Structure 1
Amino acid sequence: MRVLIAQTAQDVAKIAADNVLEGLVAHGAGTTPVLGLATGSSPLGLYGELARAVKEGRADFSRAQGFALDEYIGIPDTHELSYRQTLINEVCQVIGLPEQDLHTPQGIADSVQAIEAAARDYDQAIATAGGIHVQILGIGSNGHLGFNEPGSALRSRTRIKRLAAKTRQDNARFFDGIEHVPTHCVTQGLGTILEAGRLVLVATGAGKAEAVTACVEGPLTASCPASVLQLHPDAVLVLDEEAAAGLKLREYYDDAAAGLSDMQLRVQ
Structure 2
Amino acid sequence: MTYRGRFAPSPTGLLHFGSLAAAVGSWLCARHADGQWLVRVEDIDPPRQVPGSAQAILSALPAFGLVADLPALFQSKRQAAYDAAFERLRAADLVFPCWCSRAQLAGEEGIHRDGHCIAPPEPDRPPAWRLRVPDVTIAFDDALQGPQRQNLREAAGDFVIRRVEGYYAYQLACVVDDAFQQITEVVRGNDLLDSTPRQIWLQRCLGLPTPVYRHLPLALDEQGRKLSKSAQAHPVDPADPLPALRQVLAFLDVQTSAAASDVPALLASALERFDPVRLPPLAARPV
- Per the shorter chain, which TM-score range? 0.3 to 0.5
TM-score of the superposed pair, with normalisation by structure 2:
0.32
TM-score of the superposed pair, with normalisation by structure 1:
0.34
Higher alpha-carbon Rg: 2
